[in-house]
Structure 1
Amino acid sequence: MNHNTNEEKTENPTEHRIRKFRKTGKTRYSRELNSLLILLAGFINLWWSRDLIVFNFSKIMSNSFCFDKNDFLNQNNTLLEIFISIKDILYVFFPFLISLLIVTTIPPILLGGIKLNFKSLKFNFMKLNPFQGLKRIFSVQIIIEFLKIILKLFLVSSISFYYLYISFSKILFLINENYTSSLLDGCNIISVCCFLVILGLVPIVFFDVIWQQFNYYKKLKMTRQEVKDELREKEGNPNIKIRIRQEMKAAMRRRMIADIPKADVIITNPMHYSVALKYDEIKMNAPKVIAKGIGEVAIKIQSLALKNNISIISAPSLARSLYRYSEIGQYIPTPLYKAVAEVLAWVWKVRQWKKEGGVFPEKPRNILVPSELNFTGEHKTDD
């Protein structure tokens, strides 16, 4: 069936659609928000740890410019000093690394931004298609990303240059201070500059968060045909369901045919309906239906009954009622006990006749069926 590919997506996404969409690795998490959080974490660490940073860098600088001739003559001392300096630098930046690790992992996971998608690792020749690449390059999404990058560069550059311009005299004055004071004042200047840059990026991040949410839910939207297809997929393919029912019916029919030799009597219509009954006084509370059918199945039941020397009696009303109101493997309905009892009594007489001979027992006539179970409809097929 051909679906209209231009059909407008107006339907809200289903839960199945949302789960399926998430498995593809697509996310509504804003990368700009993640970048802002990283900058914010760096600024907080820089501001909070500025005294520690200044102290450790002062110590590194002091140790770097204090040496004697033994440091030149002993290579081990030089390596040791380098190792100590690296350790001090790592000690200073360790809080930065931990905070950045937390910021880049925890928020995306909490907001559903990280989804492992191993399907993207599969090799796909379509990705090598230059036309597909050009299509992606000139897509609306790429154009918007490009405009965001240009806007970010403009804002960051403008804010940084403006602040450094108005702070130029402070920067020049740092040369007149001792190295500890110059490091501390320089750290403060950098911290304020970072804070202003973060404030300048907030509008872009706000816009990007709204855009990502809008774009995400727009992609999730479904057409009416997609909703119907998903419902059909959830319920199962109708053709497959029909095939399964046919197979189940065929298996039941095979079991039913195999049980016919166990029957005590076959009640017929005489041609359109056939119902096979079995009754064991010791094991059963009432007669059971072990086979039934109409049309060709009814004729087959009668044919097998003749081959296995099973009694057959024509009782149209009773045959129709048993077929309509009883199930294979179940006891017959209670209101039909009396009518079936007449048939079974005749079957018992037939068995006696087969053993002793004599006059063949007369078949019961005018077997009465209760009016509430009287079924007059006739069929010619059992499908």
Structure 2
Amino acid sequence: MAENEDGTEKSEEPSQKKLDDARQKGQIPRSRELTTLMLTLSAALFLFAYGGVMMADLVALMTDGLSFDRDIAFDVQKQFSLIGSLIVQAIYMILPFVLLMVLLALISPTLLGGWAFSAQAMAPKLSKLNPISGIKRMFSMNALVELFKALAKFSLVLSIASYFLYITFAEVLGLGLEPLHSALAHAGVIIIQAFIFVSLGLLVVAIVDVPFQLWNHTRQLKMTKQEVKEEYKQQEGNPEVKGRIRQVQREMSQRRMMQQVPEADVVITNPTHFAVALKYDPENMQEPMVLAMGVDFMAAQIRTIAQANNISIIQAPPLARALYYNAEVDRPIPYDLFKAVAQVLAYVYQLKQNGKADAVDFSKVAIPENMKTE
């Protein structure tokens, strides 16, 4: 199990933020064995497909370079011209192979961990120039693993190469007895076969190395329980700070809510525990709106403001509880409570117009079953 320098155990899997931060720093899984395999195998396949053409071009190039007239032999300018022409032909001959190798050298390292382009990842790290740090890396566990891998890879490739040389030894000796063109073609075939054999050996190494690099990358980024907690605090915010923010938001909401109470048409109460302030403007509203609501101390404040502004206070305990538990401030009342609220508003409007109204017992106002509360 991975541990910090202070001995704390890294038992937790790395978070997505830890993985993203590591990528920004250029710390991503890489497998040099996979890159080597891709280069070697691609070179073998390329030579298998176009080796014959390249060999024929090479023979023609050597023939042209070694066969020239007497005039060229005694004319330096013509010699330079011939050499330049041969160089251009040689470049054109090997250019496809070189471009393929360069392209694979750029792409192969990204097959495992992807690209990592960032200023932090590409910035030079002066710590790598520190000789003490270099010595520590030389004798670290990763260095020992890399040494073991190098020895294992060398032994495997040496074994494969030795076996291939053993089974083709007679063919290699026979090349000297063949005509030039036939020997060159035969040598090309042997080289391609050697590439394929070595690639198969590297395939075994890559199959072992890729899972190891992924596992090792995850192991290095594992986190302690304390690190997980600290990261959570950073992402979600300190619980105490968040609690204070929520408290301030509630206080601001309550002040704004209280400022709207004087605009209400009626305040429906429990009569002491709940209070809900409603407003209805038939010309501008399709349904009554809840301006404020509260319980206990907040309800008392709503009633006080209502009394100070001559707003009707109606005692309707079932309706007050239903509104408090089912309605929201600055939102229309629930549709199922329209009928009950309409009775209250009709009574209030009658009071405003006539100064009096028929007595109504709102404690018995009908409340739909789905709106009732205990």
* TM-score, normalisation: structure 1: 0.69
After TM superposition, give the deviation of residue 270 of structure 1 in Å: 6.2
The residue that corresponds to 1:357 in the other structure is none
User: Which range moves more in the overlay, 229-238 or 123-132?
Assistant: 229-238
> Residue 368 of structure 1 aligns to a residue in which SS?
helix
CA offsets per residue over residues 67-91 of structure 1, 9 Å max, x none? 4554355444223212221122223
Q: Check if 1:331 corresponds to 2:326.
A: no
The residue that corresponds to 1:144 in the other structure is 145
User: Which range moves more in the overlay, 257-266 or 208-217?
Assistant: 208-217
How far, CA to CA, are the matches of 1:311 and 1:158 in structure 2? 99
The residue that corresponds to 1:8 in the other structure is 11
Q: Aligned in 2, Cα 1:303/1:167: closer, same or farther, shift over 3 Å? A: closer
How far, CA to CA, are the matches of 1:96 and 1:197 in structure 2? 19
CA offsets per residue over residues 79-122 of structure 1, 9 Å max, x none? 3212221122223323422443454456666x444322313124
**Which structure has the bigger radius of gyration?**
1
The residue that corresponds to 2:259 in the other structure is 258
Which letter maps to 1:290? L
The residue that corresponds to 1:381 in the other structure is none
Q: Aligned in 2, Cα 1:151/1:60: closer, same or farther, shift over 3 Å? A: same
The residue that corresponds to 2:65 in the other structure is 64
After TM superposition, give the deviation of residue 263 of structure 1 in Å: 2.3
CA offsets per residue over residues 267-309 of structure 1, 9 Å max, x none? 55666544333333544566543223345544544454455x4
Q: Aligned in 2, Cα 1:162/1:246: closer, same or farther, shift over 3 Å? A: same
> Residue 116 of structure 1 aligns to a residue in which SS?
coil
The residue that corresponds to 2:185 in the other structure is 184
| Contact persistence 1:318–1:339 (CA under 8 A) | no
Report 1:295-334 matches (<5 A): 295-305=296-306, 309-313=309-313, 315=315, 317=317, 320-321=320-321, 322-329=323-330, 330-331=332-333, 333=337, 334=339
| Contact persistence 2:266–2:345 (CA under 8 A) | no
Unaligned runs of 5+ in 1: 351-360, 377-383
The number of equivalent residue pairs is 359
The residue that corresponds to 1:33 in the other structure is 34
| Contact persistence 1:336–1:370 (CA under 8 A) | no
How far, CA to CA, are the matches of 1:205 and 1:375 in structure 2? 68
Which letter maps to 1:338? Q
The residue that corresponds to 1:368 in the other structure is 363
Q: Aligned in 2, Cα 1:31/1:270: closer, same or farther, shift over 3 Å? A: same
| Contact persistence 1:60–1:85 (CA under 8 A) | yes
Which letter maps to 1:276? A
Give me the CA root mean square deviation. 4.6
Which letter maps to 1:346? L
> Residue 92 of structure 2 aligns to a residue in which SS?
helix
User: Which range moves more in the overlay, 167-176 or 56-65?
Assistant: 167-176
Report 1:38-117 matches (<5 A): 38-68=39-69, 70-71=71-72, 74-101=75-102, 103-104=104-105, 111-117=111-117
The residue that corresponds to 2:4 in the other structure is none
Report 1:142-181 matches (<5 A): 142-157=143-158, 160=161, 179-181=180-182
How far, CA to CA, are the matches of 2:263 and 2:226 in structure 1? 53
How far, CA to CA, are the matches of 1:163 and 1:281 in structure 2? 96
How far, CA to CA, are the matches of 1:123 and 1:299 in structure 2? 67
Q: Aligned in 2, Cα 1:149/1:331: closer, same or farther, shift over 3 Å? A: closer
After TM superposition, give the deviation of residue 265 of structure 1 in Å: 3.8
The residue that corresponds to 2:347 in the other structure is 342
CA offsets per residue over residues 186-206 of structure 1, 9 Å max, x none? 434434444443344443333
| Contact persistence 1:29–1:113 (CA under 8 A) | yes
How far, CA to CA, are the matches of 1:276 and 1:366 in structure 2? 19
